[in-house]
Amino acid sequence: MKSGDEYRSMSYQILVVDDEPDMESLVRQKLRQQIRDKEFEFFFSRNGEEALVALAAEPGIDLVLTDINMPVMDGLTLLGRLNESAKNVKTVIVSAYGDMTNIRIAMNRGAIDFLIKPIDFTDFEVTIRKGLAHIARGKKAVQAQDDLIALQQELSVAARIQQWVLPRVFPPFPDRHDFELHAAMAAAKGVSGDVFDFFLLDETHLGFMIGDVNGTGVAAALFAAVTRTLLRATALRGMAPGDCLRHVRAVLEGQQDASMSLTLFYGVLDTATGEVEFSSDGHAAPYLYSKTGSARPLEGGATPAAKYQTGTVTMQPGDGLLLFTDGVTEAPNEMGEWFGKAGLQAHVNRHAAGAPEQMVLDLFTALRYFSLGTAQADDITVMALRYQG
């Protein structure tokens, strides 16, 4: 059984401000059932000054019904004082029939409704319920706004954390001259479901990866972060790329939500010979290019039919790889056309002789220009790697 205090906490608290001596008794009589059921809890004041004291003593009061014509402090003055205070109460004004001038003034000052004397108590209850519903909608809107601000703050923190844990200092190995590498990411919704990484396995082997979790936002970003950590830990054990991806997939399948899907590409560059071992788990094939611009999709272990197989290719000094997520090729323009693989291959050919950093940065510029007037639809991640020999 609920206590009286628990019932009281469920009551709507309403302040009636009126100098007529029988007003309180009439309200208590006409709404006695609602009062008995603890639905409404009424407080009474005879003028505006008493009302301010009552409001200070009872912070739970949300709705005030006040007469206009009262001694000491009238209803319009009280309404003005309430507007100046930090207390977020709503006011219904009460006045004599025909006093439309003061009623209009009250409504212009923020009153949400009005009642005409002599009071019809059926209308009185209906007006109270309308006022309380108005207050509830306002509180819900404020709560929704507060929740949105809190979510935006959390997303901002998550985005900063994500940028912090991903490689962000370039060149990443300034003392190495046998390869060049640059990467960049642009999230569609604050945090990204894309992932990339690179790391030295030993003095002559560079591991590099790129991946894409379906969807955008926090859930995709968390799953991408777990994937990156797992793949790096697995790769550092020295496993071949195909075996590495197979192991990562086996672990993730027991953990991921059924609605989550993931594509991954992982490669290892032998910086002494230029040989690249690589494998793909459903990810788009990177572009292999030379300084002359002869860009072509990487074949072998990057094809869907060769899932988890380890392919090999030998790069000559000056050759490079461009890795990307589908946010690049599926970037739309205002006519609904995609940037496409043809657009990407043409970009690689044009920038093949340049540094990886310039290829990546110019690709983001090209995508922004191509998609002018449209919102970014998906996360975009690009990595360019050149073997120098």
Q: How far apart (Å, rounded) are the C-alpha atoms in residues 18 and 75? A: 9
- Is residue 258 packed enough to be buried (19+ CB in 10 Å), middle (13-18) or exposed (0-12)? exposed
Name, of 92-96, 201-205, 251-255, the range with top average pLDDT.
201-205
Neighbour tally for 367: CB within 10 Å: 20
Per-residue model confidence (pLDDT) at position 256: 62
Query: Residue 334 above 50 pLDDT?
Result: yes
* Mean pLDDT for the stretch of residues 224-242: 91
Between residues 191 and 81, which one has the greater pLDDT?
Answer: 81
Range of lowest pLDDT (175-184, 215-224, 289-298, 317-326): 215-224
Handedness of CA 215, 219, 222, 228 (dihedral sign): negative
Between residues 301 and 129, which one has the greater pLDDT?
Answer: 129
pLDDT band at 277 (very low <50, low <70, confident <90, very high): very high
Contact present, 361 and 181 (Cβ < 8 Å): no
Which three-class secondary structure state does DSSP give residue 13? Answer: strand
Look over the chain and give the mean of its residue pLDDT values, rounded to a whole number: 86
Strand pairing category for 61-67 and 205-213: unpaired
pLDDT band at 205 (very low <50, low <70, confident <90, very high): very high
Q: How far apart (Å, rounded) are the C-alpha atoms in residues 167 and 200? A: 13
Range of lowest pLDDT (155-164, 205-214, 278-287): 155-164
Between residues 101 and 197, which one has the greater pLDDT?
Answer: 197
Query: Residue 302 above 70 pLDDT?
Result: no
Q: Encode 290-322: b = buried (16+ Cβ within 10 Å), e = exposed.
A: beeeebeebebbbeeeebbbbbebebeeebbbb
Per-residue model confidence (pLDDT) at position 10: 58
- Topology (CATH) of 4-142: Rossmann fold (3.40.50)
Range(s) for CATH 3.40.50.2300 in the chain?
4-142
Which two structure tokens, joined as six digits, stand for 339? Answer: 């940037």
Contact present, 115 and 107 (Cβ < 8 Å): no
Strand pairing category for 179-186 and 380-387: antiparallel
Q: How far apart (Å, rounded) are the C-alpha atoms in residues 278 and 363? A: 24
Backbone angles phi, psi at 133, to 5 degrees: -65, -40
Per-residue model confidence (pLDDT) at position 344: 96
Name, of 103-107, 196-200, 307-311, the range with top average pLDDT.
196-200
Residues contacting 192, CB < 8 A, separation 6+? 162, 185, 186, 216, 220, 221, 224, 379, 381
Summarised one tens digit per residue, pLDDT across range 366-382 is: 999 999 999 998 999 99
pLDDT band at 221 (very low <50, low <70, confident <90, very high): confident
Which two structure tokens, joined as six digits, stand for 46? Answer: 């005879």
| 227-233: long-range contacts, CB 8 A cutoff, minimum separation 24 | 227/195, 227/252, 227/262, 227/264, 228/165, 228/166, 228/195, 228/196, 228/197, 231/197, 231/264, 231/266, 232/197, 232/199, 232/207
Summarised one tens digit per residue, pLDDT across range 9-26 is: 457 899 999 998 889 999
Summarised one tens digit per residue, pLDDT across range 62-93 is: 899 999 889 999 989 998 888 887 677 899 99
- Look-up of token digits 């007037």: 373
Range of lowest pLDDT (59-73, 116-130, 158-172, 279-293): 158-172
CATH code that applies to domain 166-387: 3.60.40.10
DSSP string across 45-76: ESSHHHHHHHHHH-TTEEEEEEESS-SSS-HH
Contact present, 63 and 15 (Cβ < 8 Å): yes
Query: Residue 301 above 50 pLDDT?
Result: no
* Mean pLDDT for the stretch of residues 254-274: 85
Per-residue model confidence (pLDDT) at position 367: 96
Query: Residue 242 above 80 pLDDT?
Result: yes
- Look-up of token digits 């004599």: 96
Summarised one tens digit per residue, pLDDT across range 87-128 is: 778 999 998 777 888 888 888 888 888 988 888 888 888 999
- Is residue 227 packed enough to be buried (19+ CB in 10 Å), middle (13-18) or exposed (0-12)? buried
Residues contacting 361, CB < 8 A, separation 6+? 182, 184
Q: At what angle do helices 121-165 and 23-30 cross, to 10 degrees?
A: 80
Per-residue model confidence (pLDDT) at position 200: 96
Range(s) for CATH 3.60.40.10 in the chain?
166-387
C-alpha angle 328-329-330 in degrees, rounded to nearest 5? 95
Query: Residue 353 above 80 pLDDT?
Result: yes
Contact present, 206 and 179 (Cβ < 8 Å): yes
Task: Give Dmax (Cα) for the chain.
Answer: 100
Name, of 87-91, 155-159, 165-169, 219-223, the range with top average pLDDT.
87-91
Per-residue model confidence (pLDDT) at position 119: 86
Q: How far apart (Å, rounded) are the C-alpha atoms in residues 242 and 94? A: 79
